Chains A and B, each alone.
Chain A
Amino acid sequence: KNQVEQSPQSLIILEGKNCTLQCNYTVSPFSNLRWYKQDTGRGPVSLTIMTFSENTKSNGRYTATLDADTKQSSLHITASQLSDSASYICVVSLKAAGNKLTFGGGTRVLVKP
């Protein structure tokens, strides 16, 4: 079983709408939890990095939340744009493994006009 599970696997939303992506993890203790955006054919780009003591972090229209008690994180996209079409990957940095990154399978988001 993957230590970082993301849902849904894919999502289609209309331009201008909001959406929320989920990430559940079992690894602990962790150093931080990250969200990345990966456009097709490109490397991932960091959106947010949160330590276990942070509850929320924003980057423009992207807001990540973290509940360390339930081991859940979410990424909320506000007023989606066509350029938001990408894969969003949740990543946990595992303290016990020398801060090695463990990746979720990603959520593929398609924004339609």
Chain B
Amino acid sequence: KAGVTQTPRYLIKTRGQQVTLSCSPISGHRSVSWYQQTPGQGLQFLFEYFSETQRNKGNFPGRFSGRQFSNSRSEMNVSTLELGDSALYLCASSSGTSGGAHDEQFFGPGTRLTVL
């Protein structure tokens, strides 16, 4: 079974631009979660999508948004980029059937975003 894939793997943008990151979950998984990882803050939860609906949300500003398609693939968008948005963005997929309570999450390799 193919793992979680994320594209692109690396991205360089400038302040004020916007960016879209993509995540393809493991086949059959319906839940996709997004995380931001920085050296200072560690891993932080952004949001979770299940069956095309946002099921849970972290404490990030509205510049961070996402969506999920009918094939469970998900995209994350960050508008008006700031220097502090430089981070590793990870997505994780799970079956989602237990409401997230005991689902094992499988992480992708991440997209390294650098904002100049």
Q: A interface vs B, CB < 8 Å?
A: 31-32, 41-46, 49, 51, 89, 93, 95, 97-106
Contact = CB atoms under 8 A, between A and B. Distances in A.
Contacts of B101: 31-32, 93, 95, 99
A98 B56 contact: yes
A100 B58 contact: yes
A17 B64 CA distance: 44
B4 interface: yes
B43 A89 contact: yes
Contacts of A32: 101-102
Contacts of B110: 42-43
Interface of B: 4, 33, 42-45, 48, 55-56, 58, 90, 92, 99-102, 104-110
A100 B12 CA distance: 29
A40 B101 CA distance: 27
A25 to B, nearest CB: 14
Contacts of B102: 31-32, 49, 51
Contacts of B43: 44, 89, 103
Residue among A41, A43, A97 with the highest chain B CB neighbour number at 10 A: A43
Given A42-B109, A43-B110, A99 B99 contact: yes
Nearest to B44: A103
Given A32-B102, A44-B43, 18 more contacts: A31-B102, A32-B101, A43-B4, A43-B107, A43-B109, A43-B110, A44-B107, A45-B107, A46-B104, A49-B102, A89-B42, A97-B56, A99-B56, A99-B101, A100-B58, A103-B44, A103-B45, A106-B42
Nearest to B92: A43
Contact of A100 (B4, B56, B108): B56
Contacts of A46: 104-106
A46 B100 CA distance: 15
A93 B108 CA distance: 19
Nearest to B57: A100
Residue in A49, A93, A98, A100 whose Cβ sees the most chain B Cβ within 10 Å: A100
